[in-house]
Amino acid sequence: MDDSATLTAAERADAAQALRAARARGLASLTAAVAWCAQHPVAILVPAAVAEFHQAKRCEGVREATVRSYRHQLGAFAAAHAARPLAALTPGDIAAHLLARANVTTRANRWQALATFFAWAAHRGYVGRNPVFQAMRKPLRPRPDRCIFTPAETAGLLARTKHTAALGYWVLALFAGLRTQEIHWLHEHPDPWSLIRPGTGVIDLRDQPPKTAPRVVPVTPALGAWLRWMRKHSLPFIGPNHWPRRRELQSAVLAPRPAGRFQFHNMPRRSYISYRLALPGASYAAIARDVGNSEGVLRKFYARSALRADAERYFALAPSRV
């Protein structure tokens, strides 16, 4: 071998370190690493990649609430690696970031956000392989209780919001089973009250981009009474700063319960479905059609979760009784 091709001890150590770094990223050799670098010339910094990811998700039409969640989950990650190229991060860096949180639910949320982000980055060519999957498997978080509001708790929610801009959300979620994005769509419609049709007794959601399928929602007597109250007092369908106020109110109402994990985001809709199923003559097919779910989902998650007496008290909660 030509002496000019002989590596010094320092050069051999540097080559060994480069090979370890390549293998940590799933590359089998330095040749593969060089080839990958030739194919991926862009060296984007972590904060710039995160900002581009947020913009890409908006362009894809992802819900704003989801984009805010990504921003929350990825913000600390971008700040911790502000001066580093995205492709320089290793599975060890990812694991260290995830393990910085002791709470398993928080760790699982971070894992999901990072996995989605790096999958996007790999598609863009900013990284070779998704390092999140190499760092650790998705943490197993405890399943929260699928509980519903009691009639007394429902009355408390309505009493606290009866004269506020927050009432619309609770009325439409508790007595129509509407999803939050469906209430947002109603609120942003040029003429939302035109979609609430007393003559046919329905809320018309056929023109919205729904989660499942276009549908009409029946206006029950309780819902009709609350909608008349809202219109009389010029209350919106959803109020400002909805999410933090909603969580704060739910936490206050549920505070007397024994300590436990509750699935907050779906409790009003789950309460509506559960209590409708508990009424005499309830039909899985009809309720599934009204709420935009399958009968299988209703039978699996909602069957026998409420009593008939509680259902009757729940749907008797008119404005005059709260």
Residue type, 104: V
Mean pLDDT of the region 148-172: 95
Residue 1 has pLDDT above 50, yes or no: no
Contact 161/167 with Cβ under 8 angstroms? Answer: yes
Q: State the average pLDDT for the chain.
A: 86
Q: Residue 243: which pLDDT band, with cuts at 50, 70 and 90?
A: confident
Residues 310-321 pLDDT 10s: 999 999 999 999
Asked whether residue 173 carries a pLDDT value surpassing 80, the answer given is yes
Please give the average per-residue pLDDT across 283-305, as a whole number.
89
Q: Average pLDDT, stretch 162-172?
A: 95
**CA gyration radius, the chain:** 26
Report whether 131 contacts 91 (CB < 8 A): yes
Mapped onto helix, strand or coil, the DSSP state of residue 204 is strand
pLDDT at 277: 95
In the chain the beta strands, taken as DSSP E runs, fall at 196-197, 202-204, 216-218
> For residues 214 and 260, which has the higher predicted lDDT (pLDDT)?
214
Q: How far, in Å, are 18, 105, 157 from residue 131 at the CA level? A: 17, 20, 44
Residue 16: pLDDT band (50, 70, 90) is confident
Q: What is the C-alpha to C-alpha distance for residues 1 and 6, in angstroms, rounded to an integer?
A: 8
Of the listed ranges 10-14, 35-39, 186-190, the one predicted with least confidence: 35-39
Pair of tokens at residue 292: 């935009």
Question: Across residues 133-140, what is the average pLDDT?
Answer: 89
Distance (Å, whole) CA 175 – CA 311: 11
Q: Which residues contact 259 (CB under 8 A, 6 or more apart)?
A: none
Is there a contact between 104 and 140 (Cβ–Cβ < 8 Å)? Answer: yes
| pLDDT score at 223 | 95
Write out pLDDT tens, residues 86-96: 988 999 999 99
Contact yes or no for 93/77 (Cβ under 8 A): no
**CB distance 127 to 86 below 8 Å:** yes
State the pLDDT at residue 175.
97
CA distance 119 to 111: 12
| The model's pTM | 0.61
Give 204's strand partners.
216
